[in-house]
Each structure stands twice: as C-alpha cells, then as structure tokens.
C-alpha cells in the first residue's frame, strides 16, 4: 500500500489507482479496531468509476501508532488532511463509527474541500457532554473509562472482549478466528486513545456544523447503543438539512456485518451527491 509521510507521522492507505481526471474522488474512513479492508464490498459495489482512497487510521492496519504511544484526534486529522490535499478537486467522504467522527471533523475544518459527507453512526461523543443526553453520556463515559483502565493495566485482551461485547454482542471476540482476535486485541491501545479524544472533544466540536452546505447522509441502525442514539439526536439537531435514515434491524457494525443493508444506501447517496457537485461546478464555471 502507498505510504504518506505527514507532519504527524506515517499514514498507509489503499488507493484504487484510478487516474482518470473526470471521475469523482472518495475517501473511506473505517471504524475502530478495523482497517481499510472493511470497505472492500463497498469498493466492489462502486466499481471503477471512482478514485477511491481508504486510509488505515493510527494504530490500525499498516499505519503505526504515534511514537509517544497516545495519538490524539488532532494528529489523526493532520494525517487525513495531508491525504485529502493529495486528491484533486472536491472529495466525497464516507465514515463509520470512529471514522465517521473523523469524517465529520474533516468536513467541519475543510468544508470547501468536501463534496458530500455520509456517516454511519459517527461516535462524536463529545457532543453528548453538555447536552440533554445525560444517560447516553453516562453510558459511554463508563464504557470508555473501563476500556482505558484495562489497557493501562496491561490487559488488552480483556479490553477487546469488553469492546466487542458492547459494540457487537456478548462473546463476539471469542467467536472470531484466532488471527482476527489477535488483530483486534492489538488495536486496543489505539482505541483507548480514540476514546480519550472523543470524550474530551466538545465545546467547539459543534461549531460550524450548522453551516455545512454539502449534502449529508446520516445512517443509524435500529439495534444500536444508547450512546449512539444520543449522538444521532444531537447531529440531527445540528445538521437539520441532513438526510437521515434508520435501518431496521441493523447494528452498529452493519457496514461490516450487514453491508447488504448499508452499501446500496451509500451508493445511491453518492450517485446523487456527484450529480449535485457537477451542477455546482458548472454554475461556478
């Protein structure tokens, strides 16, 4: 995979090597404890009509942890912004979970570069801290602190078990093949840093969201967690023009485990967003 050296460290990313000048650009951001590989089915669905990049986020896949071992959300954004700047023209963003939170932050910081934004259950937990979603905030604060404490105590496997029990269901880690269990366990230090950053965000995190003018799609499964439902409620308040779809029977991990439900919605939204972008470019020209 290509490697990009940035001011915040090395970033490895998938690139489908589409060099046609007139195809739309798309960046895919994966969830915590996954990698760019989670998007293989969506990439196959979209075909060669896109220039697609899909980075491995810090401490995942082939992107290493930061040298100091506790990467911040700011470092993540610096790396992703460097990749964004390598892509000519407006870029469409798709993100899931932690990747959705990063996509939201990129859109907030670089709205002029983002053609559209699609998120499946973005875990922008900082939006909960000063909101009316007190039960949702309390739930995720407890989950995150337990995870951070388990990693700090040197027990990443226990952290991985608890992490997947919460997001997927009891026994999810043990049901995985051994190599996948090892991979997920190896991501737990990065996930602890993600939890720290997501909980500390807020205050200015919602600044600028209401002014986002690009097409926005917000997807949520009906069988998700209280914390995610709280985030979705806040985002629907802050992004009143966003298209919102609730997927009956879908869980937080639907982009990986129920991609047949999610991918058609993403593909349809992206197709419409491309047409909107083309009309906008013609008017600007």
CB 45 within 8 Å of CB 81: no
Q: What is the pLDDT of residue 280?
A: 66
User: Is 7 a member of any domain?
Assistant: yes
Q: What is the domain range of residue 224?
A: 3-126+204-284
**Averaged pLDDT for residues 226-243:** 95
pTM assigned to the model: 0.96
Three-state DSSP at 53 gives: strand
CB 36 within 8 Å of CB 13: yes
Q: Cβ atoms within 10 A of the Cβ of 47, count? A: 11
The count of structural domains within the chain is 1
Residues in Cβ contact with 263 at an 8 Å cutoff, skipping those fewer than 6 apart: 41, 42, 45
CB 59 within 8 Å of CB 65: yes
Could you report the per-residue pLDDT of 14-49, keeping only the tens digit for each? 999 886 778 999 999 999 999 999 999 999 999 889
User: Is 48 a member of any domain?
Assistant: yes
The H or E element containing residue 232 is: helix 226-238
Could you report the per-residue pLDDT of 100-146, keeping only the tens digit for each? 999 999 999 999 999 999 999 999 999 999 999 999 999 999 999 99
Q: What is the pLDDT of residue 283?
A: 58
User: Is 185 a member of any domain?
Assistant: no
User: Is 46 a member of any domain?
Assistant: yes
**Averaged pLDDT for residues 65-93:** 92
CB 218 within 8 Å of CB 228: no
Q: Quote the tokens at residue 218.
A: 């917000």
Q: What is the pLDDT of residue 204?
A: 47
Q: What is the pLDDT of residue 226?
A: 98
User: Is 146 a member of any domain?
Assistant: no
User: Is 179 a member of any domain?
Assistant: no
Q: What is the mean pLDDT of the chain?
A: 93
CATH of the domain at 113: 3.40.50.1820
Q: What is the pLDDT of residue 18?
A: 82
Q: Tell me the CA distances in angstroms from 143 to 125, 126, 253, one per residue in order.
A: 12, 14, 17
User: Is 25 a member of any domain?
Assistant: yes
User: Is 272 a member of any domain?
Assistant: yes
Q: What is the pLDDT of residue 281?
A: 58
């Amino acid at each position: 995979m290509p490697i990009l050296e940035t001011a915040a460290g090395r970033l490895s990313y998938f690139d489908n090597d589409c060099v046609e000048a007139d195809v739309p650009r798309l960046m895919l951001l994966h969830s915590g404890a996954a990698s760019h590989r989670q998007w293989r089915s969506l990439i196959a669905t979209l075909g060669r009509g896109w220039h697609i990049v899909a980075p491995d986020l810090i401490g995942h896949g082939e992107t290493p942890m930061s040298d100091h071992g506790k990467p911040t959300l700011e470092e993540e954004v610096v790396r992703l912004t460097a990749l964004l700047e390598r892509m000519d023209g407006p870029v469409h963003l798709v993100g899931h979970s932690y990747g959705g939170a990063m996509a939201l932050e990129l859109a907030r910081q670089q709205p002029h570069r983002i053609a559209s934004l699609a998120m499946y259950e973005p875990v922008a937990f900082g939006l909960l801290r000063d909101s009316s979603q007190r039960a949702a905030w309390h739930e995720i604060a407890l989950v995150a602190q337990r995870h951070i404490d388990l990693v700090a105590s040197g027990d990443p496997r226990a952290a991985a078990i608890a992490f997947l029990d919460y997001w997927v269901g009891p026994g999810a880690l043990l049901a995985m093949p051994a190599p996948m269990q090892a991979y997920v366990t190896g991501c737990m230090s990065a996930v602890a840093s993600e939890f720290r950053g997501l909980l500390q965000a807020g205050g200015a995190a919602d600044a600028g969201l209401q002014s986002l003018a690009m097409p926005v799609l917000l997807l949520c499964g009906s069988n998700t967690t209280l914390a995610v439902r709280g985030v979705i409620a806040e985002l629907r308040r802050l992004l009143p023009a966003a298209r919102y779809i609730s997927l009956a029977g879908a869980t937080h991990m639907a982009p990986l485990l129920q991609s047949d439900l999610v991918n058609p919605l993403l593909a349809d939204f992206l197709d419409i967003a491309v047409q909107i972008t083309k009309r906008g470019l013609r008017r600007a020209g």
